[in-house]
Structure 1
Amino acid sequence: MMTPRIERLLLNGRVRTLNARRPSVTALALSAGRIVAVSEDSEALRALVTSETVVDDLEGRAVLPGFVDAHLHWQGTTEGLFTVDLHDVPSRHECAERVAQFASNSPPGEWILGYGWSQDSWADGCFPSADDLDAATTDHPVFLKARSGHAAWVNSLALRLCGVDREMSDPPGGQILRKSDGTPSGVLLEWTAMGLISSRIPPISVETLATRMLKAQEYMLRLGLTGFHDFDWRDSFLALQILHERRELNLRVVKQVNAEYLESALDLGVRQGFGDEWIRIGNLKIFADGALGPRTASMIAPYDGEPGNFGIVVTDKEEILELVGKASAAGFASSVHAIGDRAVHDLLDVYEQVRRQEAVSGVVRSLRRHRIEHVQLIHPDDVSRLAELDVIASMQPIHATSDYPFADRYWGARCAWAYNPRLQLDRGVVVAFGSDSPVEHPSPLLGIHAAVTRQRRDGSPGPEGWYPAARLSVDEAVRGYTLGPAYAAGLEDRQGKLELGFWADLVVLDRDLYAVPPEEIPALQIVGTMVGGDWKYREF
């Protein structure tokens, strides 16, 4: 057998391959963007070196397959780098101060956009109002998205420009919060209500968005990410294609298809998996319910302390069944946002019916890799149903540590079944991890730390973590950021391992993630990120 030409040789590494047959090696030989040889003996591969081979001595550094974020919002992540950052701001007053400072450097009439506020982190826990923002500026319309992404806070000028007044009814699947006299308060819940304002904000050009994405891409590469599954909208897809066209796309992207574009995709005859090694079409994306932050996640029993609040159904069960069934018949699996236990239950009912339809049509389950996005709360009676239906659990470990005070407050004892990938792993379910960025920080290391410790970086809520029975091993968490996303995308034959024929996508760390104390995981440094055999980020 002819030995392939070796373009690059990585030597003297501590390489964890995630391949059970050969779990660790010290050397990798690369050619044409793929791994063509592996060895436990670095010197043995030196014989393959030619005058054209680039040799990188890893000097004992730890190497893992590249991390893949299975759920983020790429346009939102990009835009977050160019708007008012309200993450972890401790009061509405300080949020307004940041808006005022931003507005002082913006021409009158220009929209002020921001992201990341959370009323649950404020002392009174109450929603803000337009009046709070009117104190910051009356010359700029303001639109601030909540950390959950399921609520928006606007000022009076924004309401007036968009015609949102006391006569306007709540849109289907959304809610306009109101004062006692019926006038809008300045907070809008869920996408349809938020869209009453956001649809009137002048968009930036797709070319500008593509250019801004370069900054976000550099940021992600420094975090050790080599790819992601994108849940944002059409402009995100267009901008990513522009980067690809310019040969500036350095991350591998699986682009989900939002429900409003399903008919267009079907008319074109596009099927899941269409694309190349940089951008490929993923699943159909649907919203079943809202989120915990604004208490709009759809619940079987009401929120603790709010006896009349069962959340919001964004897309009803019958419509989800129609969409998922139509998509499956046309070659698409589905990824459905479901956070509350009612939403998860209803979605599992849908998948059960669709699995029966697929069986009648002769479609094997591995060809329709359906997913539940988030699975933040599941009813005990439904815990085993993902395994029974071969449904992937797409989860975000850092949500657990960010949300636990609010989950305890509003879900109480139900939290034993909340944010719990252990329940699914123990039943053989494929779990794919992500960040939901910009809702949470996109660092996989922070996600792994949350999964392993169930603690925040400051050690809260205590040494055992929140519901410690849900903790994972480091290996389980790493697989959630590598093998899990690869399987979810149908790429398990080329992504997620460091093995012969797989993409040469890898991350180099300053220390061994498997060997450090769990509390030190956030302090680990990514010193190199390689995608397709090329260093896209390197600091050694």
Structure 2
Amino acid sequence: MPSPTILYNGRIYTLDPQQPFATAVAIQHGRVLAVGTDQDINHLHQPGGEKINLNGACVTPGLVDAHCHYQLYALSLRQVDLLEVPSLAEALHRIQHKAATLPAGEWLQGYGWKNQLWPEARLPHKSDLDAILPHHPAIFNDKSYHTAWANSRALQLAHITRDTPNPEGGEIGRDEHGEPTGILYENAIKLVRQHIPDYTHDQLVESMQQAQVNCWQAGLTGLHDFDGRSSFEALQTLHRNQQLGLRIYKNIPAALIDHAIALGLQTDFGDEWLRIGGIKIFADGALGGQTALMVEPYENAPHNLGIAVTDKEEMHAIASKASANGLSVTVHAIGDKAVHDILDVYEAVRGEEAARGDTRHLRHRIEHVQIYHPQD
């Protein structure tokens, strides 16, 4: 049996109300064996066991990210990093630098831009990309992932023209003449993304391995994931190969609810490393792109109330079906109207559960809740 690893001379934050702080901890087989004073724990030391002097450093339980798109994050490590870029010029510089490493015709992708940080403050335009990317279709999500910026080649491949109608739950950005600007909101992003070749399973697994190292370095030991089937498949591969080093609560997109029910999957099925969570619904968008669904219009856009990505009636239908089949529901809702709608839905679903005699074991959630109405 491996000898315990002893951490001592530290500040151990235990989260145990009976013993909130300690100075030492013993770890064996990846689990906490004991916590206490240096004197308490040192007697557990065995020949060959490791002892680490923390020199007063703080130790906490691992952090759990309660809302993560793990596949998107992992794949972003292969793409153009536009997080915190201070200007449009810097964003274009990074994009051009990456394009120089790719064969002509290959898709260029990236993530993280936020035009509110730029001196120009304006939204970027397809022409900004066209000037530096004559040979690559390209699309770049903003920081929220609810708005995207594409060049003309990408729009052409997606057959997006001035005559293309807005998809349900999405919007194509247009200029005063009705021409697409290259900005896409919510479900309109899918019009382009459906034309991009998928990364291979092996590429995704490799990216997730790198991503989990980054998570460890940030103190994360678990996360709640909200990506789709390919993410779940890659996570299962890591789990099967005993390479999954994060505890994952795997939520399922609403589009896959019938598949989940047909397989008999229910919330909390799994083990300590990979468990089924709930059914994920998008009620609205995000504040940055002014697509969060609001009770009153945006201050600088008097006719814009945001976008209902999934309307109230459909959310109720999905939530009702999920609950009746042992699946909890988790809804992205940022604007006050979206939050109000899902509260109504949950009230109705709790009533259905009570009528069936169900216990309230399903923990339905609202993700984000950035703005809520005083009456709620």
**Normalized against structure 2, the TM-score is what?**
0.95
Residue 251 of structure 2 corresponds to residue 273 of structure 1: no
Aligned to 1:341: 336
Say if 2:95 is the partner of 1:94: no
Secondary structure, counterpart of 2:16 in structure 1: coil
The reply to whether residue 328 of structure 1 matches residue 309 of structure 2 is no
Tell me the equivalent position of 2:291.
296
2:172 alignment counterpart: 176
Conservation of the 8 A alpha-carbon contact between 1:143 and 1:158: yes
User: Could you report, residue by residue, the CA deviation over 1:469-490 in whole angstroms, capped at 9, with x for unpaired residues?
Assistant: xxxxxxxxxxxxxxxxxxxxxx
- Residue of structure 1 equivalent to 2:192: 197
Structure 1 36/162 Cα, relative in aligned 2: closer, same or farther at 3 Å? Answer: same
Check conservation: 2:3, 2:47, Cα contact below 8 A: no
Deviations 1:145-182 (A, max 9, x none): 11111011111111111211122211000001123332
What one-letter code is carried by the residue in structure 1 that aligns with 2:367?
E
> CA contact under 8 A between 1:96 and 1:135: conserved in structure 2?
no
Bigger mean CA deviation after superposition, 159-168 or 63-72: 159-168
Partner residue of 1:81 out of 73, 77, 102: 77
Aligned to 2:54: 58
How far the C-alpha of 1:298 sits from its partner, in A, is: 0.2
1:26 maps onto 2:23 in alignment:
yes
Q: Provide the C-alpha distance between the structure 2 equivalents of 1:79 and 1:141, rounded to a whole number of angstroms.
A: 18
Alpha-carbon distance, 1:361 to partner: 2.2
Q: What residue ranges of structure 2 are gaps of 5+ in the alignment? A: none
SS of the aligned residue for 2:35 comes to: strand
After superposition, residues 373-522 of structure 1 pair within 5 angstroms as 373-382=367-376
Bigger proportion of residues as helix? 1
User: Does the 8 Å CA contact 2:88/2:120 hold for their aligned counterparts?
Assistant: no
Aligned-partner SS, 2:83: coil
Asked whether 1:153 is paired with 2:138, we answer: no
1:211 aligns with 2:212: no
Contact 1:300 1:342 in 2 (8 A): yes
Q: How many residues align?
A: 376
Q: Which amino acid aligns with 2:32?
A: I
Distance 1:103 1:324 in 2: 43
The TM-score normalised by the length of structure 1 is 0.67
Alpha-carbon separation, structure 2, partners of 1:236 and 1:21? 39
1:261 deviation in Å? 1.1
Q: Distance in 1 between matches of 2:178 and 2:41?
A: 74
State, as a whole percentage, how many aligned pairs show the same letter.
46
2:14 aligned with 1:17: yes
Once the two structures are superposed, what CA deviation does each residue of 1:495-527 show, in whole Å capped at 9, x if it has no partner? xxxxxxxxxxxxxxxxxxxxxxxxxxxxxxxxx
AA of the residue aligned to 1:119: N
Asked whether the equivalents of residues 109 and 139 of structure 2 are also in contact (C-alpha less than 8 Å), the reply is: yes
In structure 2, the CA distance between the partners of 1:312 and 1:56, relative to structure 1 (3 Å rule), is same
2:105 corresponds to which residue?
A: 109
- Tell which deviates more after alignment, 58-67 or 346-355: 58-67
1:183, distance to aligned residue in structure 2 (A): 2.5
Are the equivalent residues in 1 in contact too, given 2:12–2:23 (CA < 8 A)? yes
Q: Deviations over 1:81-139 (max 9, x none)?
A: 22111122233333223222221221100111111112222334322221111001111
Cα distance in 2, alignment partners of residues 303 and 133 from structure 1? 28
Mapped pair 1:370 → 2:370 = no
> 2:148 & 2:295 partners in 1: Cα distance?
25
The amino acid across from 2:319 in the alignment is V
The whole-number CA distance in structure 1 between the counterparts of 2:271 and 2:60 is 24
Structure 1 pair 101/31, CA: closer, same or farther in 2 (3 Å)?
A: closer
Report the secondary structure of 1:280's partner residue. strand
CA distance in 1, matches of 2:27, 2:231: 32
Residue equivalent to 1:239: 234
Deviation of 1:53 after TM superposition, in Å, equals 4.0
Contact in 2 for aligned 1:93/1:132 (Cα 8 Å): no
- Asked whether the equivalents of residues 9 and 28 of structure 1 are also in contact (C-alpha less than 8 Å), the reply is yes
Deviation at 1:203, TM superposition (A): 1.1
- Secondary structure in 2 matching 1:285: strand
Larger CA deviation: 97-106 vs 341-350: 97-106
Check whether the contact 1:7–1:52 (CA below 8 A) recurs between aligned residues: no
* Structure 1: distance between partners of 2:322 and 2:368: 21
Confirm whether residue 306 of structure 1 aligns to residue 301 of structure 2. Answer: yes
More deviation, 232-241/293-302 = 232-241
Cα separation, 1, equivalents of 2:168 and 2:183 = 16
Shift of the alpha carbon at 1:9?
A: 3.0
- Render the CA deviation track for 1:239-276: whole Å, top value 9, x for unaligned: 11111222211111111111011111100001111111
Pick closer, same or farther for the CA change 1:161–1:57 going to 2, 3 Å. same
1:82 aligns to what SS in structure 2?
coil
CA distance in 1, matches of 2:355, 2:29: 42
After superposition, the Cα gap between the structure-2 partners of 1:186 and 1:227, relative to the gap in structure 1 and judged at 3 Å, is same
What do the CA deviations read for 1:354-389 (whole angstroms, capped 9, x no partner)? 111122223333x1111110000011111xxxxxxx
Task: State the Cα distance separating 1:36 from its structure 2 match.
Answer: 3.2
- How far has the Cα of 1:52 moved from its partner? 5.6
Which of the pair has the greater relative contact order for Cα pairs under 8 Å at 6+ separation?
A: 1
SS at 2:77 equivalent? helix
| Correspondence for 1:443 | none
SS in 2 for 1:292: coil
